[in-house]
Structure 1
Amino acid sequence: MHPTLPSAVGLLVVIPALVVAQAATEMDPIIVTATRTAQTAEATLASVTVITRSDLERRQIRSLPDALRGVPGLALANNGGRGKTTSVFIRGSESDQILVLIDGIKVGSATLGTTAFEQIPIEFIDRIEVVRGPRSSLYGSEAIGGVIQIFTREGGTREGGGPLTPRFSIGAGSYDTASISGGLSGGGQDAWFDLGVSLEDTKGFDACRGRETPFAGCGADDPDRDGYRNAAVNARAGYRFGELGWFDVQWLQTDSLNEYDGSLFAGDESKDRQQVLGGRIALTPVARWTMTLSAGRAWDESRIFFEDQFSSRYRTQRDSLAWQHDIAIADGHQTVLGVDYLQDQVGSSLAYARNSRDNTGVFAEYLGQFGASNAQISLRHDENQQFGGETTGSLAWGYRLPAGLRFAASYGTAFKAPTFNELYFPGFGNPNLEPETSRSLEIGLSGDHRATQWAINLYQTDVDDLIAYDALLWAPANIDRARLRGLEGLLTTRVYDWNLNANLTLLDARNRGASPNNGNLLPRRPEQSIALDLDRRVGRWQVGGSLFFAGRRFDDLANTVKLDPYTLVDVRAEYRFTPSLALQGRLENLFDEDYETTAWYRQPGRSLFVTLRYGP
């Protein structure tokens, strides 16, 4: 564990005692991602962060990576600003060891194994749930580090009728950036809908410092501005059949143009499209039994160009089907049973040895309350067309102590199937790869004292059969191991009239494979990070600021390319002309910090953005 761990623990325990807090009443949010069924945040044993629509607007968030920055246990690596490739790491796991869902539909590239977070418009998002820790026992492959689920705007109230509600925003700022979005929602208890459109354009800046070698930096020295454009549409609607059940359908499409410094091999421009189409129907035949049938398709397509000439094309498709049963056995006791089917398909201008595979998983979960204790047990078996069977499980237990304290402990196993690139990429893939597997242990203590909530979580994850490049085979192989240890501390309180949110992450993510890199830190994960948010409302004004610190990290497995620590400070202000109309301004990177999260790729300097927003 990092040497500063004892002092950090002490600090997080002492802070709540020193804060002058005032009473506040908030509804306990409902979380569905941690257990695949609705639970209050207070009942959920997992480490979960919920980002609401009001949080996004209060902090004047402009992108999904921006929203995720500062979440405990998360680290981001970005290739040069707005719209550029962004990797997300949860608790030190690899960026392709995170499961991403949009309204319950699995998304992400079957070739790369990652999700293009940078292309998902923030204006369509109603809520984000980030679950830290393994969830393969409920979702199958990819959920070693955790699960990120994005919920789009739903519309309606589900509680009563109401008029149509329009919304719009228009903004402009540094780097010749402009954005406009609009939407219309309506409905009530029995029917609901939401339609939204958005457009964003930025000229950007020279993203890469350049290095004229094929395997370092961007492999080019091209000192021009690297722009980005995104046009998107989202639609969602649903209807309730009285007490019998309801159905819901959703569609999201984004089209983007991304310019970057590249080469003949990697290109210098990409035209990308992401689509998600899904539907769910839930029926409640009897009071204690709800069954849900859901189906979805997620596409991602990328066309690569070099100097305006077509270079290559990649297209992947994920079709999913799930049948789930939530059964309340008795008061405080519930089971969740289900089966999932997933088929991945790849289409490319390159010839893959295989272009499709499917996976079927069956799972069972028990949630129980025993006085001051509650427990969660889950078990899942997956049969994959490529690598055969894999069984995972998890066990979590929580105990409520006096004085608003709660102790929780959990253990879970997880796995990730190899991607199509790792298996079949022409001249590179290895079809004999086995899944990566993991074992995780976590303990935590949390406190809820009127307006002050805090938590401390300690965890360790051991990952086996990590897939890495084997120079002897000239191909990827299961040759590595990793040990991920960390601490997360969280504090939410009110200091006089200021709302304070703070968190600290300490991470020790090391290579434990039989290689020259044994003992080295895994790339692009900072050893320490701190996030602070302060906000205050005074009449028609709301003012606030954010501070984010990331410690030392390395860009390579050999730990020879160091990325320096950095500190970012953002300030923001909002003036409300009416309860629905507001003018917002955000000054990012106030002190013009020069930093990189990926070697050779610049990050934005001091930037100002102004937005006029109308909405309920």
Structure 2
Amino acid sequence: MTCSTSKTAWQPLLPCAMALLWTAPLSAQVEAVANLDPIVITANRTAQTADQTLASVTVIDRAEIDRRQSKTMVDILRGLPGVATSSSGGPGQPTSVFLRGTESDHTLVLIDGIKVGSATIGSTPWQNIPTDQIERIEVVRGPRSSLYGSEAIGGVIQIFTRRGRAGPLTPRLSLGAGSYNTIRTNGGLSVGNERGWLDAHLGFEQTAGFNACNGEPFVGGCFVDEPDDDGYTNKNGGVSGGWRLSDQFSLEADFLRSEGSVDYDGSLFAGNRNETLLQVARLQAKAQPVDAWTSTFDVGRNWDKSRVFFNDQFLNRFDTRRDRLGWQNDIQLGAAQQLTLGIDYQRDEVTTKPTFAEDSRDNTGVYGQYLGRFGPADLQLSLRQDDDSQFGGHGTGNAALGYTLANGLRLTASYGTAFKAPTFNELYYPGFGNPDLEPEQSWSAELGLSGAHPWGRWAANLYQTDIDDLIATTLVAPNLYLPENVDRSRIRGLELWTTAELGGWIMDANLTLLDPRNESSGPNQGNLLPRRPEQTFRLDADRQLGRIGVGASLFVSGRRFDDAANRTRLDGFSLIDLRADYAFSDALRLQARVENLFDEAYETVAYYNQPGRTLMLTLLYQP
């Protein structure tokens, strides 16, 4: 069966994807899948199994990252249910993640519980997050402002860094080399026992890259013609540890630092080199005064820094510091009921070369959540009130209901509201900012159906999100453009996923059908929102044959448009990756991966090139 990506709406991928999702498992020799039920923390800010939570969640653990030999956040997230990505070039270039068709800054991103990203432009430095330091990623789809506050319109993505393993001091090391003169190395140490653990790591990556942009002066892209290779260098390191002082009290601490330097095609006005810093620190204390009450206190800070150069000439800097304090209390009301009460405080401070009228703001959020199980029914209710020094108070809520039928099928329904606070650039940038902006706000409704069969697990989720007061740049006077709350959007989507083990193959398939529309009055009404493909499909297959492991990934993306007017169309594309590894022992293995096997030429941002066929070899020592 051949799948085309050149048509519109949801038609092209549906027949072949449904065949892969549903027919293949029934026509193959099927083996029972292990009943693995990962623990999810992000969905409700408290530990639940993936089956218990009423949210739509995907968990990617360290074993899966290693098995698929993923080296970038784009590679890990691309093709997951509800996730779309775009990149302005190759390694180290700016990357955007669109969760359920919402804006790229409508996803809350956490590293070990601390919000990351720039308070000036609202972006997350996905390209600078070191994947070798990741223990687990949780992707929660759907509004979560009722627990987390601003930004969680499309959902929450939380990254957990590595934790120490129980046992004696154990080293790990990886050495890699590949196309574009790429080298990667990472090393770490881990130790732990029943009372405490410690993990430390260092990493380095360097690549000559390729020409990021085929820009046309005065026309588009980077607006310059600079056909040189745009290289990238990253140095990263971190440490994390935990200690249980008693059965009732424990401490945890985490620190991550990632320094990046990337070349890009630019000008004396925009620069052509960017030096960045992503740094996260957290300290957590957890106490259990009585069996039914757990109290958690968190303090943390995120640094996001950027230095812009043109050749060796310094042009500008954008520095963000975000401090956080949090106190959360989980109270068991019985065997199947829990109440969560908490308060968050966040302070944002920015330092820029153009001085802003305001360079700091505070936000305090108070939230509560009830989780209850009543036989086959599950209930989740949450409310939050945020008080911001810039825009005042804002309330959000969420309600979800799940019901498990006698045959094992589970029905879920949810409704939630969310909001996104304006960035410092939108509020205070000299000559551009509008301090009268209000938060962007949304409501979302979702229906879900999931189940488990001998061949694996599956789920289907149908949703709609309406967003009001979207911030857009408008002409308010001759030659004067200001951001204003004028736009609206309506996003409808369907997500299907399934896992199975077929004849020794571990299979994972995801299909997303998306209809993201601009509902604002004006010439763009009814157009597709920029850079969101209408269809994405991903299929991963892996098998172990003695000492040899083999695998492949197929990713298919439908068309997208680069602009709000839908004049610049970016065609759909298909990518095939192959991977293999050989285990010399339980601890030492050689990995090889070919990405974009057929050297597909494609764009996710107009004028910006993407990697062609690449090869990566990695020697991995990991006891």
TM-score bin, normalised by smaller chain: over 0.9
Q: Does 1:544 align with 2:566?
A: no
Task: Tell me the residue number matched to 2:581.
Answer: 574
Q: Does 1:193 align with 2:202?
A: no
Q: Does 1:284 align with 2:291?
A: no
Match of 2:618 among 605, 611, 615: 611
Q: After TM superposition, give the deviation of residue 156 of structure 1 in Å.
A: 2.9
Task: Tell me the residue number matched to 2:278.
Answer: 274
Q: Which stretch shifts more, 498-507 or 14-23?
A: 14-23
Q: Report if the CA contact (8 A) 1:16-1:454 is conserved.
A: no
Task: Tell me the residue number matched to 1:479.
Answer: 486
Distance in 2 of aligned mates of 1:66 and 1:9 = 20
Letter matched to residue 44 of structure 2: T
Q: Which stretch shifts more, 76-85 or 25-34?
A: 25-34
Task: Tell me the residue number matched to 1:535.
Answer: 542
Q: Report if the CA contact (8 A) 1:404-1:449 is conserved.
A: no
Indicate how the Cα distance of structure 1 residues 20 and 407 shifts in structure 2: closer, same or farther if over 3 A, else same: farther
Match of 1:335 among 312, 334, 339: 339
Task: Calculate percent identity across the aligned residue pairs.
Answer: 55
Q: After TM superposition, give the deviation of residue 19 of structure 1 in Å.
A: 4.6
Task: Tell me the secondary structure at the aligned position of residue 605 of structure 2.
Answer: coil
Q: After TM superposition, give the deviation of residue 259 of structure 1 in Å.
A: 0.2
Q: After TM superposition, give the deviation of residue 10 of structure 1 in Å.
A: 6.0
What are the residue-to-residue correspondences of 1:198-237 with 2, within 5 Å?
Answer: 198-213=203-218, 216-237=220-241
Task: Tell me the residue number matched to 2:497.
Answer: 490
Task: Tell me the residue number matched to 2:530.
Answer: 523
Indicate how the Cα distance of structure 1 residues 252 and 141 shifts in structure 2: closer, same or farther if over 3 A, else same: same
Q: Report if the CA contact (8 A) 2:10-2:513 is conserved.
A: no
What are the residue-to-residue correspondences of 1:223-262 with 2, within 5 Å?
Answer: 223-262=227-266
Distance in 2 of aligned mates of 1:10 and 1:209 = 37
Letter matched to residue 186 of structure 1: V
Letter matched to residue 605 of structure 2: T
Q: After TM superposition, give the deviation of residue 566 of structure 1 in Å.
A: 0.4
Q: Does 1:108 align with 2:117?
A: yes
Task: Tell me the secondary structure at the aligned position of residue 476 of structure 2.
Answer: coil
Q: Report if the CA contact (8 A) 2:10-2:514 is conserved.
A: no
Task: Tell me the secondary structure at the aligned position of residue 137 of structure 1.
Answer: helix
Task: Tell me the residue number matched to 2:183.
Answer: 178
Distance in 1 of aligned mates of 2:546 and 2:26 = 30
The one-character-per-residue Cα deviations of 1:118-154 (angstroms, maximum 9, x if unpaired) are: 1011110000000000000000000000000000001
The one-character-per-residue Cα deviations of 1:505-528 (angstroms, maximum 9, x if unpaired) are: 000000001121000000000000
Letter matched to residue 129 of structure 1: E
Task: Tell me the secondary structure at the aligned position of residue 75 of structure 2.
Answer: helix
Q: Report if the CA contact (8 A) 1:156-1:191 is conserved.
A: no
Q: Report if the CA contact (8 A) 2:10-2:534 is conserved.
A: no
Q: Report if the CA contact (8 A) 1:21-1:452 is conserved.
A: no
Distance in 2 of aligned mates of 1:10 and 1:261 = 42
Q: Which stretch shifts more, 239-248 or 89-98?
A: 239-248
Q: After TM superposition, give the deviation of residue 70 of structure 1 in Å.
A: 1.5
Task: Tell me the residue number matched to 2:3.
Answer: none
Q: Report if the CA contact (8 A) 2:455-2:502 is conserved.
A: no
Letter matched to residue 606 of structure 2: A
Letter matched to residue 248 of structure 1: E
Task: Tell me the secondary structure at the aligned position of residue 63 of structure 2.
Answer: helix
The one-character-per-residue Cα deviations of 1:3-59 (angstroms, maximum 9, x if unpaired) are: 539858965455554453211324310000000000000101100000000000000
Letter matched to residue 420 of structure 1: F
The one-character-per-residue Cα deviations of 1:548-588 (angstroms, maximum 9, x if unpaired) are: 00001000000000000000000000000000000000000
The Cα RMSD (Å) is 1.3
State TM-score, norm by structure 1: 0.97
Distance in 1 of aligned mates of 2:475 and 2:61 = 46
Q: After TM superposition, give the deviation of residue 402 of structure 1 in Å.
A: 2.6
The one-character-per-residue Cα deviations of 1:454-481 (angstroms, maximum 9, x if unpaired) are: 1110000000000011122511100100
The one-character-per-residue Cα deviations of 1:363-407 (angstroms, maximum 9, x if unpaired) are: 000000000010110000000000011000000011111332111
Task: Tell me the residue number matched to 1:308.
Answer: 312
Q: After TM superposition, give the deviation of residue 225 of structure 1 in Å.
A: 0.4
Q: Report if the CA contact (8 A) 2:338-2:370 is conserved.
A: yes
Match of 2:419 among 415, 431, 447: 415
Task: Tell me the secondary structure at the aligned position of residue 246 of structure 2.
Answer: coil
The one-character-per-residue Cα deviations of 1:238-287 (angstroms, maximum 9, x if unpaired) are: 10022112110011111111100011221000111111011100000000
Q: Unmatched 5+ residue regions in structure 2?
A: 1-7
Q: Report if the CA contact (8 A) 2:552-2:577 is conserved.
A: yes
Distance in 1 of aligned mates of 2:350 and 2:414 = 37
Letter matched to residue 154 of structure 1: R
Match of 2:329 among 325, 329, 333: 325
Distance in 1 of aligned mates of 2:305 and 2:568 = 32
Q: After TM superposition, give the deviation of residue 427 of structure 1 in Å.
A: 1.2
Q: Report if the CA contact (8 A) 2:25-2:502 is conserved.
A: no
Q: Report if the CA contact (8 A) 2:33-2:500 is conserved.
A: no
Distance in 2 of aligned mates of 1:242 and 1:18 = 54
What are the residue-to-residue correspondences of 1:327-476 with 2, within 5 Å?
Answer: 327-473=331-477, 474-476=481-483
Task: Tell me the secondary structure at the aligned position of residue 139 of structure 2.
Answer: strand
Match of 1:94 among 84, 103, 121: 103
Q: Does 1:68 align with 2:77?
A: yes
Distance in 2 of aligned mates of 1:226 and 1:402 = 58
Q: Does 1:78 align with 2:82?
A: no
State TM-score, norm by structure 2: 0.96
Task: Tell me the secondary structure at the aligned position of residue 446 of structure 1.
Answer: strand
Q: After TM superposition, give the deviation of residue 349 of structure 1 in Å.
A: 0.9
The one-character-per-residue Cα deviations of 1:418-462 (angstroms, maximum 9, x if unpaired) are: 000111111111111100000000001111113410111000000
Q: Report if the CA contact (8 A) 2:105-2:151 is conserved.
A: yes
Task: Tell me the secondary structure at the aligned position of residue 58 of structure 1.
Answer: helix
Letter matched to residue 551 of structure 1: G
Letter matched to residue 105 of structure 1: I
Distance in 2 of aligned mates of 1:436 and 1:349 = 27
Task: Tell me the secondary structure at the aligned position of residue 74 of structure 2.
Answer: helix
Q: Report if the CA contact (8 A) 2:82-2:512 is conserved.
A: yes
Task: Tell me the residue number matched to 2:138.
Answer: 129
Task: Tell me the secondary structure at the aligned position of residue 520 of structure 2.
Answer: coil
Letter matched to residue 605 of structure 1: G
Match of 1:602 among 591, 600, 609: 609
Task: Tell me the residue number matched to 1:504.
Answer: 511
Task: Tell me the residue number matched to 2:55.
Answer: 46
Letter matched to residue 40 of structure 1: T
Q: Report if the CA contact (8 A) 1:20-1:494 is conserved.
A: no
The one-character-per-residue Cα deviations of 1:193-221 (angstroms, maximum 9, x if unpaired) are: 100000000000001011112x7201211
Distance in 2 of aligned mates of 1:330 and 1:155 = 33
Q: How many equivalent residue pairs? A: 611
Distance in 2 of aligned mates of 1:308 and 1:45 = 52
Letter matched to residue 188 of structure 1: N
Q: Unmatched 5+ residue regions in structure 1?
A: none
Q: Report if the CA contact (8 A) 1:156-1:189 is conserved.
A: no
